[in-house]
Amino acid sequence: MNHLAILGAGPGGYVAAIRAAQLGARVTVIENQALGGVCLNWGCIPSKALLSVVEFGDKAKKAKDFGIQLSGPATYDPAVMVARKNKVVSTLVKGIATLFKTWNIEHLEGTGELLDARTIRVTKPDGAEIRVEADGLILATGSSWPNLPLFPIDGTQIITSKQALELSRIPASLLIVGGGVEGCEFASLYSGLGTQVTLVELVPRLLPLEDEEISQMMERELKKRGVDIRTGVTVDQIVRQPEVVTAHLRDGLSLNVEQVLVSVGRGFNSRGIGLEKAGVQVGPRGEIVVNDRMETNVPGVYAIGDVVGKAMLAHVASAQGKVAVENFMGHPRTIDYDVIPTGIFTLPEIGRVGLTEQQARDRCLAVGKDPQQSVRVGRFRYGGLGKAQATGDIQGLLKVIVDAGSDRILGVHILGAHATDLIHEAALAMHLGGTVSRVAEMIHAHPTLAEGLMEAMEDVHGHAIHLARKPSS
């Protein structure tokens, strides 16, 4: 029986462990923190548990419009919110532990370090050391919060997302440094709780990796929530005092806030795990170098998840874990990064798959095609949907980008209620090579939000039923 050792039990490591056990391997998993890694314990799940509270509160604020009389305004209890969040996390962590038991997966608590390409030294919490020898290794050590001299993290006044999820109290004011996915999600969360939020981003717009139209819409939505957004600027200096933090921005503005949330990327956990002893190659950013089978340069040693520096997403780590295991078990398989649905859990949500409109046009230019003729775009707004009107979720847009020659879907972007769920219809269509016309022809149930995707697909060719006739050119 092949013995596989996995260093790390995040969404990549624990999924790889279960798949390996399913395929008949003996599996040992080494983890020095909680099962589920950052995603489950200090990231994806806890942040969504807290955001769901704010979303619920947003609906309560509109209760009167729906004919519901409440005795007073909605207020938030941080202790109850955090307790609920912790219960959600604990339930899921216990679920992983149960899965490990049913699949006879050995879980070793401790810090692992490679001694060679087949041996890991595990230092247990009590200081004892054991050695794990295996036929193959998977490195799934993830990423961590960066240590930036300008932002000395103290966990109280200058915090990371880990502390921002504990919410011992709701701060009156918060500066978020970084307008990417994490920064915008926390801006939604804290502004919903009543905190005066200032969001600073170095580049000219929020969510710089998203479609520009969607990015602009999200900026407007955050401003509606009272978020003060400052793009194209950075923080030059942070001054801590007992009750306040003063942030001096490059544009000359000085802000006094209770806390500063640093949300400017993550670093690879590739140091201190013995890569040099095993001869594993590391890239210029500190990422572990792998091929499309998730193999490192050392036979029998694989790496997955954030530490390989590809798409740093939990579901990508899980997919990489399955690919690595199947190759280890003798079932050749490669990974395809072309169709990766992504969810951003702002309020409202964003779902995205494939190319942005600008990326599609740039690709046309690169091969000598006219982007105006080669790229088509279809749009449909939530306000035109009966389901959205009925539920009050009328803010949103569904946008489809298509190759005019082949009618293939190049990208889909959704901002609005349940966008992170809706995006998967588009992702499946792209994965199966479907055309925009075929998706538009599929009968969609009424009344649903998914009808908006059908309408956006129809709009590519000017056939959307619930859009007013466009003026002739």
| Cα–Cα distance measured from residue 435 to residue 227, given in angstroms and rounded to the nearest whole number | 39
Q: Is 81 annotated as a binding residue?
A: no
Give the residues across from 302 on adjacent strands.
Answer: 138, 295
Q: Is 72 annotated as a binding residue?
A: no
Peptide bond into 447 cis (omega under 30): yes
Q: Is 313 annotated as a binding residue?
A: yes
- Measured torsion, CA atoms of residues 102, 105, 109, 110, in degrees rounded to the nearest 10: -170
Q: Is 312 annotated as a binding residue?
A: yes
Q: Is 183 annotated as a binding residue?
A: yes
Q: Quick check: is 413 catalytic?
A: no
| Residue 19 · residue 325 · CB < 8 Å | yes
User: CA dist 257 to 103, 176, 243, 248, 294, Å?
Assistant: 50, 10, 9, 11, 44
User: CA dist 72 to 3, 54, 69, 336, Å?
Assistant: 60, 16, 9, 52
Give the residues across from 229 on adjacent strands.
Answer: 199
Q: Is 39 annotated as a binding residue?
A: no
| Cα–Cα distance measured from residue 266 to residue 268, given in angstroms and rounded to the nearest whole number | 7
Tell me 337's DSSP state. -
Q: Is 305 annotated as a binding residue?
A: no
Q: Is 185 annotated as a binding residue?
A: yes
**Angle at 297 (CA atoms; ends 292, 302), nearest 5 degrees:** 60
Q: Is 265 annotated as a binding residue?
A: yes
Q: Is 234 annotated as a binding residue?
A: no
Q: Is 48 annotated as a binding residue?
A: yes
| Residue 327 · residue 34 · CB < 8 Å | no
User: CA dist 323 to 15, 93, 141, 270, 288, Å?
Assistant: 11, 23, 17, 20, 16
| Residue 410 · residue 352 · CB < 8 Å | no
Q: Is 351 annotated as a binding residue?
A: no
| Cα–Cα distance measured from residue 86 to residue 318, given in angstroms and rounded to the nearest whole number | 23
Q: Is 134 annotated as a binding residue?
A: no
Q: Is 180 annotated as a binding residue?
A: yes
Peptide bond into 348 cis (omega under 30): yes
Q: Is 52 annotated as a binding residue?
A: no
Amino acid letter for position 335: I
| Cα–Cα distance measured from residue 298 to residue 242, given in angstroms and rounded to the nearest whole number | 51
Q: Is 405 annotated as a binding residue?
A: no
Q: How far is CA 246 from the centre of its chain?
A: 30
In the set 248, 413, 418, 446, the catalytic residue is 446
Q: Is 179 annotated as a binding residue?
A: yes
Which residues sit in the known binding site for FAD?
48, 112, 141-143, 306, 312-315
Which residues sit in the known binding site?
48, 112, 141-143, 178-185, 201, 265, 306, 312-315
Residues acting as catalytic residues = 446
Which residues sit in the known binding site for NAD(+)?
178-185, 201, 265
